[in-house]
Amino acid sequence: MDALNLPAYAFRTRERDGKRDIFDPIRQKYVRLTSEEWVRQHFVQYLIQEHHVPRGLIAVEHGFKDRDMPRRADIVAFDRQGQPLLIAECKAPAVSVTQETFDQVARYNRVLRVPYLVVTNGHAHYACRIDFDEGAYAFLDDLPGYDDLRQARV
């Protein structure tokens, strides 16, 4: 797989039936190694190792309902009370991050109401902080660490 604009991490992979799998430490199983999964696994490790989000407070392909339709957010990080703090939408490196991508994560946030949204294709990363009281958002240069993420819920 291609190098990404994220730190390099060691992953467990395997070859099975002519296809490559990667071990997802959050779901505790091997999953098909697609380009999007490569980005997703890197971003999970980025949250854990660089931003100190506890592994047990991250969900991958988190299921929820939006207007009675099943949806899945790529990555959701929670606080210790189980409230979602961050949604990350991951795209394959060859997929451009577009307004449609932001619209997708914003639709998810109508339901989850997290203070931080992230969109990444592994090369370009966009993060914003939502202020629900003001009905505004601000793009960030970088994500804060987990302790600061949690403060958004206080």
Rounded to whole angstroms, how far apart are CA atoms 94 and 96? 6
Query: Helix or strand or coil: residue 87?
Result: strand
Rounded to whole angstroms, how far apart are CA atoms 75 and 58? 7
Q: Is there a contact between 119 and 89 (Cβ–Cβ < 8 Å)?
A: yes
- Domains of the chain with bracketed CATH: 13-151 (3.90.1570.30)
| Single pTM value for the model | 0.93
143 CB-contact burial (10 Å; exposed 0-12 / middle 13-18 / buried 19+): buried
One digit per residue, the tens of pLDDT, for the chain of length 154 reads 889 999 999 999 999 999 999 999 999 999 999 999 999 999 999 999 999 999 999 999 998 988 888 989 999 999 999 999 999 999 999 999 998 888 888 888 888 999 999 999 999 999 999 988 888 889 999 999 999 888 876 5
Q: Is there a contact between 26 and 60 (Cβ–Cβ < 8 Å)?
A: yes
pLDDT confidence of residue 153: 63
